[in-house]
Amino acid sequence: LGVNGTSLSYNGRSVFLSGGNLAWVNYGNDFGNNQSHTHWCQLQQHLQNVSAAGGNSMRVWLFVEGQTIPVFSDAGLVVATDGAGSLVPELRRFLQAAASLNVFIVLCLWNGALMREEVVKGMIHDLAKLQSFIDKALVPLVEGLKDIPALAAYEIVNEPEGSVDPHTIDKTTRCFDTATALGGTGAGWSGAGIKMQEMLRFINLQAAAIKGHDPKVLVTVGSWSEHASTDVISLDPSKQFFNYYKDECLVAAGGQDRGTLDVVQIHTYARPEFSSGSPFGVSVTSASVYNLSKPIVIGEFSAGSTQGRWTVQDLYATAVSYTHLTLPTKRIV
C-alpha cells in the first residue's frame, strides 16, 4: 500500500479501505508465545469474515499494554519479542493468510487509551528502555514482515491522547502544549499523565526505526479525535484544534527527520450526534476541510453511537462522497 498525494494506492490504483477493527481476540495476547491452533483458527475466521463481506482491510492490535509481549527484564528493558520466539512467524502466517484473501492489515503496536503497565510508561520516559524495545523487538518484527504486501501500515499507538497530561502549558513550543487544545476535551482519561513531548518522541523514534528497515511501509497514529489532528479552528469556533502529529512536532520531540507519519488517522463517535468538526460533522463537507496534505483514514467509528440517527451504510456513503476519507468499521461482528 502506498500514498499518492492525499489518496492511498496499490499497484497504481486508488484504494478505499473498507473493513473492520478486530481489534483483538485475546487482549494483548494474540501473537507470540506459541499460540494454539484453535486461536489461529479464530484469527483466520475473522479474516474470512471481512473478505466474505467484501472488505479489504483489518486493524489488529499487537503489544497493546505490554502485559504479555514483548519480554521485559526486571530492569524494564526489552530482551525479546516474546518468550517462545514465535511472534514473527505467527504474524507472517497471519499476513500471508490476509494476502491470500486480498485483505490489508494495519498493525497497531500500543494502546494509549489505557496505559496500566509501568514497563510501557518506562519506555516513554526512558530512552534506553525505548531503544531496547526498538533493538530487540521492533527491528526484528519489521525485518521479518517487510516482504509481505498485506501489511498496509504500522500504527504506533492507539489514541495516545488518552494517556497524555492535558494540562501542560508550554509557551515556547506549541507542539508540547496540551492545555490550549486538549484541556477540557476529555483527553487524559487513563490518568497516565504522560507529557506530550515524551509521547511524540515515543512515536517519532519508533516511526524512524520502522522506516529505516522498511522504507515502503506506511506509518500512522490512531488519534482519538480531530481536536488533535488538524489546525483548522474554524471547524468549531467554540473549541481549539491542533495537529500534534504533524511532521514538525514529531521531529521536534524526537529529532528523527524520517520519524513522521504517512497517513492521518482519526477516530470519531457520536454522543449521539457527531461533533461539528468530526469527519461526519456538519462543518466537514470533504476531507480537504482539514487542510492536511496526507490521506485520512477514519480508524474507528460506530453507527450504534448515533442511536439510530445514522446507519453504517449512511456513514460509508458519506465517506465515499467526502473525497479521500477512507475507513474501516468499528468492530467485526
At 237, the amino acid letter reads P
The yes-or-no answer on residue 118 being catalytic is no
DSSP code string of 149-174: TTEEEEEEEE-GGGTB-TT---SS-G
Q: Which amino acid, residue 54?
A: G
Is residue 65 annotated as a catalytic residue, yes or no? no
Catalytic pick from 65, 90, 155, 159?
159
Name the residue with cell 448515533.
306
Q: Which residue pairs from 46-55 have beta carbons closer than 8 angstroms and sit at least 24 positions apart in sequence?
A: 46/22, 46/332, 47/94, 47/97, 47/98, 47/101, 47/103, 48/101, 49/332, 50/19, 50/20, 50/101, 50/103, 50/332, 51/101, 51/102, 51/103, 54/18, 55/18, 55/19, 55/20, 55/103, 55/328
193 alpha carbon, distance to own chain's centre:
20
- In angstroms, the CA 39 to CA 1 distance is 28
Dihedral sign computed on CA atoms, order 269, 273, 275, 279: positive
d(CA 120, CA 110): 9
Catalytically annotated residue among 65, 198, 226, 300: 300
Q: Active-site positions?
A: 159, 300
